[in-house]
Amino acid sequence: MLKEATKQGKLIVFSAPSGSGKTTIVRHLLKQEELNLEFSISATSREKRGNEQHGRDYYYLSLKEFKNRIKADDFLEWEEVYRDNFYGTLKTEIERIWAKGKHVIFDIDVSGGLRIKRKFPDQTLAVFVKPPDLNELVRRLKERGEESEDKISMRVAKAPAELATAPLFDVIVVNSNLESALENAYKLVYDFINK
């Protein structure tokens, strides 16, 4: 478990199917200084994309190293999201952010988000970002231009199962209009941090 002395901040989880807009919302919230948030950098066994950097976008671990860290109980949560593509939250990452007196904000898959909520029920606000519909999700994924048709198909195939978990989250933000989704998310986080 995490070191008791550092257990002071709040945990803000944003989860959603790929293309729902959760990363855009999280980036917006990080810019709001009064929220005192810091991004939890996930560890992953997948390869870097584009100009991603170790320690900024992810902690890139080899598949072997990731599995060794699982055995060592170094993760707060982890998931094999796609075959041999592991993602997880290192306990040391949360301790690092809490030691700075900040709240932790996550942009993670639904399974990981729900695991964090179960481990820290009172300290966690779990927000599910929902796209208006699957067609819009496909359009957004294609518009990104970052991935092959196969990858997009994999993400879209996974979306219905992810959408089915929405009721398990504390709150659902429907991202049909980005401005209102950003306002809604800000209010939810502000109220949670200040209660």
Cβ burial of 10 (10 Å; 0-12, 13-18, 19+) is: buried
Higher per-residue pLDDT: 37 or 47? 37
User: What pLDDT, in 10s, does the model give residues 89-137?
Assistant: 999 999 999 999 999 999 998 999 999 999 999 999 999 999 888 777 7
Does position 64 have pLDDT exceeding 70, yes or no?
yes
Q: Assign 160 a pLDDT band (cuts: 50, 70, 90).
A: confident
What is the edge-to-edge ordering of all strands in the sheet holding 103-107?
A: 37-39, 103-107, 11-15, 124-130, 171-174
Q: Assign 195 a pLDDT band (cuts: 50, 70, 90).
A: confident
Q: Considering the chain, what is the average pLDDT of its residues?
A: 90
Cβ burial of 193 (10 Å; 0-12, 13-18, 19+) is: middle
Angle CA 86–126–21, to nearest 5: 70
Does position 5 have pLDDT exceeding 50, yes or no?
no
Mean pLDDT of 73-86: 90
Mean pLDDT of 50-74: 95
Query: Distance between CA atoms of 69 and 37, rounded to whole angstroms?
Result: 26
pLDDT for position 153: 80
pLDDT for position 3: 58
Q: Which is nearest to 127 in space by CA: 165, 101, 95?
A: 165
pLDDT for position 2: 61
Contacts of 187 (CB under 8 A, 6+ apart): none
pLDDT for position 143: 80
Query: Distance between CA atoms of 71 and 65, rounded to whole angstroms?
Result: 10
pLDDT for position 9: 92
Query: Distance between CA atoms of 91 and 2, rounded to whole angstroms?
Result: 6
pTM assigned to the model:
0.87
Does position 8 have pLDDT exceeding 80, yes or no?
no
In order of start, what are the domains of the chain with their CATH numbers? Answer: 8-193 (3.40.50.300)
pLDDT for position 104: 97
